[in-house]
Amino acid sequence: MASPMASLAISPADRVFVLTGAGISAESGIPTFRDADGLWRNYRIEEVASPLAWRRDPHLVWDFYSMRRRVASAAKPNPGHFALAALEEVLQDRFFLCTQNVDNLHEKAGARRVLHMHGELFKSRCDTCSLPPFADTSLYESPGELPVCSCGGKIRPHICWFGETPFALEQIFQALDDCSIFIAIGTSGSVQPAASFAAQVAGRAKAFYVGPEAPANHLLFDECFLGKAGELLPGLFSCRGSA
């Protein structure tokens, strides 16, 4: 476990893969999932975040995501988000940001290339036809009407639910193969496939974790920087000889 003053050295030859989880948005007022005040303490996954939940009660599902849209739209990025946007600016295409988060705080902080492997809160799509996901900030709360597609299908949140396959896995695994430094930030390491990314790079890339407590998969990391992302990230990276 690293002391708070430690820093993470990045050399000109390094390619950095960053994975973020709910913890990076905690200081922005967006609850995580599994902490004491986490979403899954107050909501049942099988009622609001699975294909079966959608088939059974789409109103309940949209009430849940409307609540999350309301919270996220009022949230502002914190110094952790800004530190990663600044690192992207320095490293350019040697930087790959993959987030499990569905909020848009990375983009609000200026990040230009963010891969949302679990979808995006402010996008919706049709559950029937191949209409591409579209920007949608609307709230669909009971007892209001639920949105319907021109094909007659139901419009659902563009979110990867439990039991569904995350987005862009091929691109993610390619970037994992290419990286020399892997950094996971604010994720409990309890949800696959993201929890296995550190194992994917083991023996080939250096792996670091940033968060207030060691994650479930902490043995996969070379070093854990224990603390809040918004407090540790701003001073953590030392990029030597970068363009």
Q: Annotated catalytic sites, by residue?
A: 118
> Please, which of residues 81-120 interact with ligand APR by CB under 6 A?
100, 118
User: Please, what sign has the CA dihedral across residues 40, 184, 71, 149?
Assistant: negative
**Beta strands per DSSP E along 60-133:** 95-99, 114-116, 119-126
Interacting residue with ligand APR among 2, 16, 22, 72 (CB under 6 A): 22
Q: Is 122 helix (H, G, I), strand (E, B) or coil?
A: strand
Contact 158, 120 (CB under 8 A): yes
> Please, which of residues 28-67 interact with ligand APR by CB under 6 A?
32-35, 38
- Closest separation between CB of residue 32 and ligand APR, Å? 3
Return the structure tokens found at 77. Answer: 């990025």
CB-nearest residue to ligand APR: 23
Q: ∠ CA(108), CA(163), CA(188), 5° rounding?
A: 55
Site string for ligand APR, 157-186 (x = CB under 6 A): -----------------------------x
Residues at the contact surface with ligand APR, assessed by CB under 6 A: 21-24, 26-27, 32-35, 38, 100, 118, 186-188, 190-191, 211-213, 215, 228-229
